[in-house]
Structure 1
Amino acid sequence: MRRVTLALLGLALALVAPAGAASADDGPYAPLDRPGPALSVPQGTLDASLDCHGDPAAGPRPILLNPATSVTPVENYSWNWARVFAAEGRYYCLVTMPQHTFGDIQVAGEYVVNAIRTMHARTGRRIAILGHSQGGMNPRWALRFWPDTRAMVAEMIGMAPSNHGTKSIPTCIPGLTTCVPAVWQQLAGSAFVTALNSGAETFAGIDYTNVYTRLDEVVTPPASSGLTTGEGRIANVRVQDVCPLDPYEHILTGTISAATYAIVRDALDHDGPADPARIGRSACGLYMPGIDPVDIASYAPVLAALPRLVSTMLPSVSLGGAPLLRAEPPLRCYVYAAGC
C-alpha cells in the first residue's frame, strides 16, 4: 500500500452460446471454437459506451483503448495515448465500462466484444487493442469465449496486464471481507483467471505484446503479466530490459513511461509483437510523447480518479458504484463445456 501511495503522489507531481462437446485440452471449459453466446447487455448501452475519433477509412491500424480497473478511458488515456494517436491521424476508440471497471469482468468482456465488432465493421480492417492493467487482460476474455472476434484483431498489447491475476491483495478473504467484483476476479487462482487461461492463452493470427515492470506492486509477481501458451506470436517485455533505470511502477508504467511507449510503438510499427532488440537507449526518458508537463488542466481527469485508484487495494470500499461481495461472481454458463 505504501508503494501505491508513493506512486500516486509521484503521478501528481509528475503531472503538476450453443452447447458443444469439450476436448481433452479444454477440460471442463468451453471448446476454443464454440461460438460465443448472445450479448446480455442491451445493444444501445453497448453502443453508447464506445467513443471514436478520426477517419475510420484512413491512417494506421485502428486501435481500441481499454481502461484499467477504477478509471474511465478519459482518465486513463486522454492526456497521453489519445493525444499521440490523434496527432498521427489514427482512428481510435475508447470504451467505457460500467462502474468504473470495478464490476464483473464477464460483463466488461461483452463491452469489448461489441467494440471489436463495431470497429471492424466501420473500418473494414483488423484492429489493435491497447490496455492498461485489467484493460490489457479483459479483451482476452472476449477472444477466448467469442471466437468470431479473433479474425477482427491483429494486435493485443497489454501494459502491466493482470493476465494471471495478482497476489498483492491479501485483504480480500472469501466469506470474511467484502470487495468489488473485478478485484475478486483478479486475484491469482480465481475461478475467473483459471477460465480465462483455459485451453489457450493466445490465438493464431494475433500478435501479443505484454509490457511489465519489475517494480509492479499491483500485479504480482510482475512476470505473471506474460503469456506463454497458444498459437499467437508473443513477446513478454520487461521495461527495465529496454531502459534499465526506468523507475515506474504499475500505474505509471501504463500512463507516462517512455520505455513502455517505445515498446508499444515497436509493436504497432512492425509485423509481429514488439522486439526489444529494435529499441535503442535513446528511447529512454522521463515521460512518453503526448504528455505536456505544464498543461495542468489536461490532468484534471486522472487527478480526480486518485481516490478510486487508492480504493482498489482496500476491502469494504466501493467508490465506483460496484457492489461489495463476499466472494467472486459465479462464472457464466457459457464458460463451461456443458454450455447453457
Structure 2
Amino acid sequence: MISRWVHSVVFSLGMVLLPALVPVPAQAESGFAPLDRPGPALSVPPDQLRESLTCHGDPGAASEPVLLSPATSVTPEENYSWTYARAFDAQDRFYCAVTMPDHTLGDIQVAGEYLVHGIREMHRLTGKRIAVLGHSQGGMNPRWALRFWPDVRGMVDDVIGMAPSNHGTESMPACGPKPVECEPAVWQQQAGSDFGQALNSRAETFPGISYTVLYSRLDEVVTPPESSELHTGGGLISNIALQDVCATDVSTHLLVGTTDPVTYALVVDALDNPGPADPARVDASVCGQPLMPHVDPLSVNTYLQPLSALPGLLSTAAPGVNLVGTPQTDREPRLRCYVYAAGC
C-alpha cells in the first residue's frame, strides 16, 4: 500500500522542507535589494543551463505551458515522470523540466539561476506566459528567480507550489556527524535562515502572477504546514489546505507532490482557468479517488520504493561530502551580493 512507504520517503523529499512563518524585521527589509532592480548576469555556464532543460510536446499547443521544478534530493525523472509528466502527455500540454545540480541539494541561489534560464527559454519557445509547478523546494525556489530577476515576472502566469517550503521549516534533520554538517539546500530551508529572509523580503508575490499554494495539514516535513502560505505583495494568492477541500484527505508531504488526486485537481484548475486555483470549481467526486489520474496503480510502489532509499544520498561518502558529491557544510551558504540593497 502507498502509506507503508510514506514515512521513509518523506525524510528525503522532506529535505524540501517546509516553513514556519518568521517575520523579517523592518530594518532588515531595507537591507535587501529593491524589487525593481535588474537581476545579475547568470553565473552558471550557458552549456550547463541548456543541458539542464528537457522539453516535451508541441510548443504551439493551446494549453498553458508548464515548467516542472523538482523537490530537494530528487531529479525531475524521480519526482514527475510517473505522475505529472504522464498527465501532461495525455493533455497534449507542452512542458519542460529542469534538472538541478547535486540532486537539488546544492545552493538554492544557484538553482534559481537554472529556473531563470528555464523560464526565459520556455517563453522564447512558446511565446506565452508559462506556469511553474513544483513540489516542496521546487514549489518555493521559483520565487527566488522572480524576486531577484524582475525581467522574468512578465513571462510567468502561474506559480503552483505543492507543499512548498516558502518560509523554511522547523523540522531540521540531523545530517552529518558532530559538529552538524548538512547540504546547502537543507540549511537554507530552515525557518529563519538568511536565505528565507532574503526570499521573502519586501514582497512575497508580484502583480500579474497567480500563486496557488497547496498543502496538507498532515505534512510532517513542513512544520507548521501553514507556513507554506503566501500573504504579501501584489500577486493573486490562493492558499489551500487539502483538508478544506476533502476532509478525509490523508496525504502527507510526499504524496502531496506525487499521487494526491485533490492536489492534481487543483493544479489543473489553476492551469486551465484565469487566476489561482479555486476549490469551488473542483468536483466533489475527487475526494473518493485513491490516486491522481494517469498514475498506474500497479506500479506506484515501483516508483515509491526507490524514493525511500534517497535518504542514503545524505549519508557521508567522505568527510564533508555526501554520496552524490554534494558538499556538506556546518552553515548555510553566504548570500550573493545582488541580494543586498548595496548590490555588487
Give TM-score, length-normalised by structure 2. Answer: 0.88
Alignment equivalent of 1:266, drawn from 258, 264, 269: 269
1:237 aligns with 2:237: no
Query: For the Cα contact (< 8 Å) 2:132–2:158, is it kept in 1?
Result: yes
Counterpart for residue 329 of structure 1: 333
Amino acid at match of 1:216: D
1:162 is displaced (CA, Å) by 0.1
Counterpart for residue 118 of structure 1: 121
- CA RMSD after TM alignment: 2.5
Q: Report how many aligned residue pairs link the two structures.
A: 324
1:257 is displaced (CA, Å) by 0.4
Matches of 1:26 and 1:100, distance apart in 2? 32
Counterpart for residue 56 of structure 2: 53
Structure 1 residues 164-173 or 318-327, which shifts more? 164-173
Structure 1 residues 329-338 or 316-325, which shifts more? 316-325
Counterpart for residue 140 of structure 2: 137
Matches of 2:164 and 2:4, distance apart in 1? 16
Q: For residues 9 and 91 of structure 1, do their structure 2 counterparts lie closer, same or farther at Cα, with a shift above 3 Å needed?
A: closer
Matches of 1:239 and 1:261, distance apart in 2? 11
Amino acid at match of 2:291: Y
Matches of 1:24 and 1:154, distance apart in 2? 32
- After TM superposition, list the pairs within 5 Å mapping 1:168-187 onto structure 2: 168-169=171-172, 171=174, 176-187=179-190
Amino acid at match of 1:192: F
Matches of 2:325 and 2:299, distance apart in 1? 30
1:275 is displaced (CA, Å) by 1.1
Counterpart for residue 306 of structure 1: 308
Amino acid at match of 1:322: T
Query: For the Cα contact (< 8 Å) 2:260–2:291, is it kept in 1?
Result: yes
1:264 is displaced (CA, Å) by 0.9
Query: For the Cα contact (< 8 Å) 1:4–1:310, is it kept in 2?
Result: no
Amino acid at match of 1:87: A
Alignment equivalent of 2:157, drawn from 154, 157, 172: 154
Matches of 1:196 and 1:7, distance apart in 2? 29
Runs of 4+ in 1 over 4 A off after TM superposition: 3-6, 23-26, 299-302, 309-314
Alignment equivalent of 1:215, drawn from 210, 218, 223: 218
Query: For the Cα contact (< 8 Å) 1:25–1:199, is it kept in 2?
Result: no
Identity value in percent: 59
Query: For the Cα contact (< 8 Å) 1:53–1:93, is it kept in 2?
Result: yes
Counterpart for residue 7 of structure 2: 7
Amino acid at match of 1:204: P
Amino acid at match of 2:64: R
Matches of 1:170 and 1:9, distance apart in 2? 14
Unaligned runs of 5+ in 1: 11-22
Partner secondary structure for residue 294 of structure 1: helix
Alignment equivalent of 1:83, drawn from 64, 86, 95: 86
Amino acid at match of 1:293: P
1:320 aligns with 2:324: yes
Q: For residues 9 and 128 of structure 1, do their structure 2 counterparts lie closer, same or farther at Cα, with a shift above 3 Å needed?
A: closer
Q: For residues 325 and 25 of structure 1, do their structure 2 counterparts lie closer, same or farther at Cα, with a shift above 3 Å needed?
A: closer
Counterpart for residue 69 of structure 2: 66
Counterpart for residue 191 of structure 2: 188
Partner secondary structure for residue 183 of structure 1: helix
Amino acid at match of 2:305: L
Matches of 1:96 and 1:164, distance apart in 2? 23
Counterpart for residue 343 of structure 2: 339
Partner secondary structure for residue 64 of structure 1: strand
Partner secondary structure for residue 134 of structure 2: strand
Query: For the Cα contact (< 8 Å) 1:183–1:312, is it kept in 2?
Result: no
Query: For the Cα contact (< 8 Å) 2:9–2:254, is it kept in 1?
Result: no
Amino acid at match of 1:291: V
Alignment equivalent of 1:228, drawn from 223, 227, 231: 231
Matches of 1:9 and 1:95, distance apart in 2? 22
1:277 is displaced (CA, Å) by 1.8
Q: For residues 150 and 233 of structure 1, do their structure 2 counterparts lie closer, same or farther at Cα, with a shift above 3 Å needed?
A: same
Q: For residues 9 and 122 of structure 1, do their structure 2 counterparts lie closer, same or farther at Cα, with a shift above 3 Å needed?
A: closer
Amino acid at match of 2:123: H
Q: For residues 158 and 9 of structure 1, do their structure 2 counterparts lie closer, same or farther at Cα, with a shift above 3 Å needed?
A: closer
Give TM-score, length-normalised by structure 1. Answer: 0.89
